[in-house]
A and B are shown apart, each in its own frame.
Chain A
Amino acid sequence: MGEFRMPSLGADMESGFLREWRVRTGDLVKRGDIIAEVETQKGIIEIEVFDEGIVGDLLIKVDEKVPVGTIMTHILSRDEAKVGIPSVPEKKDESIKEELPREKISISEIQHVRASPLAKKIAADKGIDLTKVKGSGPEGAIIREDVEKVVVEQVAPNAIPERSISDNIRMAVAAAMSKSNREIPHYYLQTKADMSPAITWLAEANKKRVVKDRLLPAVLLIKAVAKALREFPDLNAWWDNGLQRKKDIHIGFVVALRTGGILVPAIHDADKKSLDELMQALSDIIIRARALKLRSSELTDSTLTITNLGEGAVETVFGVIYPPQVALVGFGGITEQPWAVNGMFGIKPILTISLSADHRATDGNTGSRFLTTIKNYLQKPEEL
């Protein structure tokens, strides 16, 4: 029997609202099926299931907010389904128990706190944990005023639906980037690539394609990075108590939202996809990211992030690594620049490529060779 829990969709996520069950008890599901929609700071995310089996009792009600790790349902084998579906999980982790939905705190559970009866009643009604409230009443007792202060303070972070999605995304970005800057010792490298071979090749290639299938320069960049990563497994990794190399190469691609903020959906197995497949995947995730309709795996699987400023932008970007990844490749805008080849000056379309990397995971030497490899791939677009 598999347990299906509220997934963590990023290091900054503590809880999520179940907005819709996409299955019913008794449905047969297989790996990758979408089982539910969960609202997080990053919008409504479609949650995939990783077990195969029959859906058990749906333990969480729609619109209920539960902490990450809460069991939402069970995925049962056929035999288990016949025997009957346990309606309550047999045991819960201690850690989860502590984070039970606040509504369930009963007066008896908080009786040891020195608080007025009224304060306790309000706390129970509003789901306030009195152990975290400072009392200002007689002998330090918690009184109504103290609890009401907390109620007011809590309205902000708790009421995700009442805050705009863009504010929430801003907060999520803030949390992830702060963690990165706090924990990851970054080093930065930069190189430049002459993009004339790539641009010429792309123009030719697009002639054979109908408008909607035409390739963008970004696909070449994604493919070049993905292929290079095969040779530098230390950069296709997560840092989590040491270096965890990842078998598959899933490129996180930074999508700027029109309302402000960014999302980083993953393009799965980018190294194995053809340029056309990559183009298709890219169009798909950009549209869905902007509609805030991503899947859980797309939010969590990336092994390296690309930020691509695109046309008309500044030359160089030094990104902040998205934890727990260990590297980020930044592409600036392509600009025409004087360029010396074989002792001759020429004007060339030049792309600045940067690498932000985690010095715990790799050293500059590795990074330098990685960037050079990407550059070389971009010189031979026909081979990508």
Chain B
Amino acid sequence: MDENNELVKLSYREALKQALREALQKDDKVFLMGEDVGRYGGAFAVSKGLLQEFGPERIMDVPLSESGFTGAGIGAALGGMRPIVEIMTVNFSLLAFDQIVNNAATLLHMSGGQLNVPVVIRISCGIGRQLAAQHSHSWEPLFAHIPGLKVFSVGTHEDARMLLLTAIKDPDPVIIFEYTAMLNMEGSIPISIPAVDISHAKVRRTGKDISIITYGAGVYKSLEAANELMKAGIDAEVIDLRSLRPLDDRTIIDSVSKTHRALIVEEAWQSVSISSEVSARIMEKCFYELDAPVQRLGGVEVPIPYPKHLEDASIPQKDQIMEVTKKLVGHG
């Protein structure tokens, strides 16, 4: 076996950190700014040790002012730098939303194509750590709504390790969602991975009976469900959307045209969500391939509860994915 194809075991957090290090090493225009990213090592220890390695000019602690430092990052990008802005959690991102939507996303247009904004904004998000309603938001759909942004979701260790490196080269603003509930999750990835093509969804598992389309924290849950469904004789394909904006229609349509059934899984509240959009595109672009109505499993539309059992019940879990899949494929 080629040395490069050896697998290495690491946590999702470690994969994110290696990506940051590599980005900082490869291009000295790259720097990281965010709350507690330096001396504290990051709220979730993702940037631990980087300050010592790269110094305070490249690992920059910022005041608790999301609007202010996100705006500063946008300014640095306009000035030719490649800033990585870390917003500690998505729950605070609305404070920076005006900068992101009204500046980062529009300046290329407003300047008649003269000013592009190559900023990368990393945002932690997700449900599952008993942080209650105000700190458990899934706002991927909110950002994916905005033309001018590219929005990516890191659903696997492989993407945690590689996605940033492709995103940092993008000439336009990129939002990356990372999932705090997955930080300690161990996974195996090849030592050497080719650059990730972040503009395309990724078929994480091929199957013929149903397309389970998901992203973020839904990817591993769906894969686990798919593996167990094999015992029930159901061969499910799992698609990791990866890019929430733009959506990769081709991969979705090809898969649904093959399996003729689709289930979309996400943690975000179901109404006006990524799954709404994917479902609509399936209807528009491959209606006559469908052998069953498109089904969705999204977050229950309540403020996310604090108690563990209620928190678990508020988002799709493996058993639910299996149950709905069986029903859809006709084994329910």
A residues bordering B, Cβ < 8 Å? 116-121, 136-138, 141, 143-145
- Of A117, A119, A120, A143, the residue contacting B330 (CB under 8 A) is A143
Measured in the bound complex, the distance between the Cα atoms of B292 and A138 in whole Å is 8
CB-CB under 8 A from A120, the residues of chain B are 288
Q: What are 11 A-B contacts with C-beta separation under 8 Å?
A: A117-B290, A117-B291, A118-B260, A118-B289, A121-B289, A136-B330, A137-B292, A137-B330, A138-B293, A138-B328, A143-B330
Question: In chain B, residues 262-294, which have Cβ atoms closer than 8 Å to a Cβ of chain A?
Answer: 287-293
Measured in the bound complex, the distance between the Cα atoms of B330 and A137 in whole Å is 7
CB-CB under 8 A from A118, the residues of chain B are 260, 288-291
Main secondary structure of the interface of A (DSSP, over half): helix
Q: Tell me the nearest residue of chain A to B289, going by C-beta.
A: A118
Measured in the bound complex, the distance between the Cα atoms of B290 and A141 in whole Å is 12
A55–chain B nearest beta-carbon distance, Å: 41
17 additional A-B pairs beyond A116-B291, A144-B260, beta carbons within 8 Å, are: A116-B260, A117-B288, A117-B290, A117-B291, A118-B260, A118-B288, A118-B291, A119-B291, A120-B288, A121-B289, A137-B330, A138-B293, A138-B327, A138-B328, A141-B292, A143-B292, A143-B330
- How many residues does chain B have at the interface if contact means C-beta atoms less than 8 Å apart? 11
CB-CB under 8 A from A144, the residues of chain B are 260, 291
From known contacts A143-B292, A144-B260, infer whether A117 and B287 are also in contact, taking CB-CB under 8 Å.
yes
Say yes or no: A116 contacts B330, CB within 8 Å: no
Main secondary structure of the interface of B (DSSP, over half): loop
- Residues 276-317 of chain B: 1 if any A CB is under 8 Å from the residue's CB, otherwise 0? 000000000001111111000000000000000000000000
CB-CB under 8 A from B292, the residues of chain A are 116, 137-138, 141, 143
CB-CB under 8 A from B287, the residues of chain A are 117
Say yes or no: A143 contacts B291, CB within 8 Å: yes
Q: Which 3 A-B pairs give the minimum distances between C-beta atoms? A: A118-B291, A116-B291, A144-B291
B57–chain A nearest beta-carbon distance, Å: 59
A138–chain B nearest beta-carbon distance, Å: 6
Measured in the bound complex, the distance between the Cα atoms of B261 and A143 in whole Å is 11
Measured in the bound complex, the distance between the Cα atoms of B282 and A116 in whole Å is 14
Measured in the bound complex, the distance between the Cα atoms of B261 and A119 in whole Å is 12
Say yes or no: A117 contacts B289, CB within 8 Å: yes
Measured in the bound complex, the distance between the Cα atoms of B109 and A262 in whole Å is 84
- Residues 36-74 of chain B: 1 if any A CB is under 8 Å from the residue's CB, otherwise 0? 000000000000000000000000000000000000000
Which of B288, B291, B327 has the most chain A CB atoms closer than 10 A to its own CB? B291
CB-CB under 8 A from A141, the residues of chain B are 292
CB-CB under 8 A from A143, the residues of chain B are 291-292, 330
B244–chain A nearest beta-carbon distance, Å: 26
Measured in the bound complex, the distance between the Cα atoms of B208 and A373 in whole Å is 76
Say yes or no: A137 contacts B327, CB within 8 Å: no
B7–chain A nearest beta-carbon distance, Å: 39
Q: Tell me the nearest residue of chain A to B260, going by C-beta.
A: A118
Measured in the bound complex, the distance between the Cα atoms of B329 and A291 in whole Å is 52
Say yes or no: B327 contacts A121, CB within 8 Å: no
Measured in the bound complex, the distance between the Cα atoms of B3 and A162 in whole Å is 59
